[in-house]
C-alpha cells in the first residue's frame, strides 16, 4: 500500500472510531483548540464549567458571604465531600478519602502512618526503585524519622524482597516514565501475606483505569488531581485510608483541622474519627472548589468505559506509529499487554528533547523525559482517534 493510501486508510478508520465512541460528547465539556493535546498525564485540560464556578467562589462566596461561606457555602466539609466524588473513580466507598495538601505531603502522611500501623519489630520500608523522585525523597526521610532502613527495589522484585522486617511498601500503580501498569491486586496480596502495610501512588492511574482500592484491600493510597482528573495546576491531592484502619491511623502531621474538636483549641491533640484524620491545616478553598467543579464532568461516566477507550487509543497510536514512522527511529517502552499498560505511550527516540519541541511547534503536545523518552498521555474524556492518527502522522513527518 502506498504511503498516501495508508494515511487515507488510517484516517478513515479514525473517523469511524470517533463516530462510534460513546465518550466523544464529553470533549465539548473542555476548553480545547486545534492542538492535539497529549500531555494530560502532566496537566489535564480545563473543564468548561470551572471558570464560572471559580468566579462564583471568588465574587459571591468570598466577596459577599466572606467568613459565612465556611458553613453556608460548604467550605468546611469540602475535603471529605470532594473525596467522596473521587472515591468511585478509584474503587472506594464513601468516607475513606480526604482531599487536601500536595501528593508529597500525603505520601509522607501515608508512609509514616503505615510504619506506625505495622507496629513493633518491623523496621524496613520498601520503595519502588524507579519511582518518581519525590516519592523516593519522602520515603528516605520517613525511614530516618521512624528508625527504619529504606530498601529501593525493582517492582518485579518486591515479592521476593518482602520479609518479617518489612513495615511498609510504597509503590506506583503506573510508572510515570514508561506507562507500565503494575499488578496492584497481587502485589497488595503479597504485602499483606508478609504482614506489611501497602501504600500506593495513584497519580498516573486515577481517572484513566480501574484501581479497585476496596476490592483489593489496599491499606493506604495517595494521588494528585491535576492529571487525568483535570483539577487544574497545583490542585489538591488526596489521601485514602481504608475504613478498617482509620481508628488506628496515626498521622505524623496532626493539625487543628484533624482534631476531634477543632474549635476547642485544646493544647492536647485528639484525632477526629474517619478519613478526617488525614486533614492538617486550613484547606486551600479556591483550588479545591475548582477541582470540585472539574470533577462534575465525571457524572454518569463509567471508569470501565474510560479504560476501554484508553486502550483503544493507545493501541491505535502504536499502530499508526508503526505504519508511519520510519523503522528504527523510535522504540516503544510501554508494554503491549493491556494488563500492563497505563494510559500513555512512551517512545524511546534519539534527540527526544529536540523532537518534542518540534512536535509542539507543529501542534502536537506531549512531553520529554530525560534522557530519550517522548511521552504521550491519552485522556479518554477529550482525546479522540483523529487526534491520535494526526499525532502519529506529525511525528513521522518530524522524524523524516
Catalytic positions are 132, 201, 226-227, 375
Indicate the DSSP class of residue 364. E
- State the Cα–Cα distance between residues 104 and 96, nearest whole angstrom: 19
Residue 349 neighbours by CB under 8 Å, 6+ apart: 329, 330, 331, 355, 372, 373, 374, 399
By C-alpha distance, which of 125, 116, 112 is closest to 163? 125
Phi, psi values for residue 10, rounded to 5°: -70, -35
CB atoms within 10 A of CB 18: 16
CA–chain centroid gap for 34, Å, is 26
Per-residue buried b or exposed e for 284-323, using 16+ beta carbons within 10 Å of the residue's own CB: bbebbbbbbbbbebbeebebeebbbbbbbbbebbbebbeb
- State the Cα–Cα distance between residues 50 and 113, nearest whole angstrom: 34
Distances (CA, A) of 123 to 41, 119, 131, 192: 34, 9, 21, 16
What distance, in Å, lies between the first and last C-alpha atoms of the chain? 19
Give the DSSP per-residue string, 98-148: EE-S-HHHHHHHHHHHHHHHH-TT--EEEEETTS-HHHHHHHHHHHHHHTP
Amino acid at each position: 500500500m502506498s504511503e498516501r493510501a495508508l494515511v487515507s486508510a488510517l484516517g478513515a478508520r479514525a473517523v469511524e472510531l470517533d463516530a462510534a465512541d460513546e465518550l466523544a460528547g464529553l470533549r465539548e465539556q473542555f476548553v480545547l483548540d486545534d492542538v492535539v493535546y497529549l500531555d494530560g498525564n502532566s496537566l489535564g485540560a480545563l473543564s468548561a464549567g470551572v471558570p464560572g464556578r471559580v468566579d462564583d467562589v471568588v465574587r459571591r462566596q468570598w466577596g459577599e458571604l466572606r467568613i459565612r461561606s465556611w458553613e453556608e457555602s460548604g467550605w468546611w466539609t469540602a475535603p471529605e465531600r470532594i473525596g467522596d466524588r473521587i472515591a468511585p473513580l478509584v474503587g472506594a466507598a464513601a468516607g475513606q478519602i480526604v482531599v487536601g495538601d500536595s501528593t508529597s505531603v500525603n505520601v509522607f502522611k501515608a508512609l509514616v502512618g503505615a510504619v506506625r500501623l505495622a507496629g513493633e519489630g518491623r523496621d524496613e520500608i520498601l520503595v519502588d526503585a524507579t519511582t518518581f523522585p519525590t516519592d523516593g525523597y519522602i520515603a528516605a526521610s520517613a525511614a530516618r524519622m521512624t528508625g527504619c532502613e529504606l530498601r529501593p527495589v525493582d517492582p518485579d522484585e518486591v515479592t521476593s524482597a518482602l520479609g518479617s522486617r518489612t513495615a511498609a511498601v510504597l509503590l506506583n500503580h503506573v510508572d510515570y516514565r514508561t506507562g507500565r501498569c503494575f499488578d496492584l491486586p497481587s502485589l497488595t496480596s503479597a504485602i499483606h501475606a508478609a504482614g506489611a502495610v501497602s501504600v500506593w501512588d495513584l497519580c498516573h492511574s486515577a481517572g484513566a483505569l480501574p484501581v479497585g482500592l476496596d476490592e483489593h484491600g489496599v491499606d493506604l493510597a495517595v494521588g494528585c488531581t491535576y492529571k487525568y482528573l483535570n483539577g487544574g495546576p497545583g490542585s489538591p491531592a488526596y489521601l485514602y485510608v481504608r475504613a478498617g484502619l482509620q481508628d488506628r491511623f496515626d498521622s505524623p502531621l496532626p493539625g487543628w483541622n484533624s482534631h476531634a474538636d477543632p474549635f476547642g483549641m485544646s493544647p492536647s491533640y485528639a484525632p477526629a474519627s474517619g478519613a478526617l484524620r488525614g486533614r492538617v491545616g486550613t484547606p486551600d478553598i479556591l483550588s479545591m472548589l475548582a477541582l470540585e467543579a472539574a470533577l462534575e464532568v465525571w457524572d454518569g461516566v463509567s471508569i470501565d468505559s474510560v479504560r476501554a477507550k484508553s486502550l483503544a487509543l493507545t493501541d491505535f497510536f502504536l499502530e499508526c506509529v508503526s505504519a508511519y514512522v520510519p523503522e528504527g527511529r523510535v522504540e516503544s517502552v510501554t508494554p503491549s499487554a493491556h494488563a500492563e499498560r497505563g494510559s500513555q505511550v512512551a517512545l524511546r527516540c534519539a534527540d527526544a528533547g529536540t523532537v518534542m519541541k518540534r512536535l509542539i511547534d507543529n501542534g502536537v503536545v506531549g512531553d520529554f523525559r530525560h534522557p530519550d523518552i517522548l511521552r504521550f498521555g491519552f485522556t479518554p474524556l477529550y482525546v479522540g482517534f483523529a487526534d491520535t492518527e494526526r499525532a502519529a502522522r506529525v511525528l513521522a513527518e518530524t522524524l523524516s
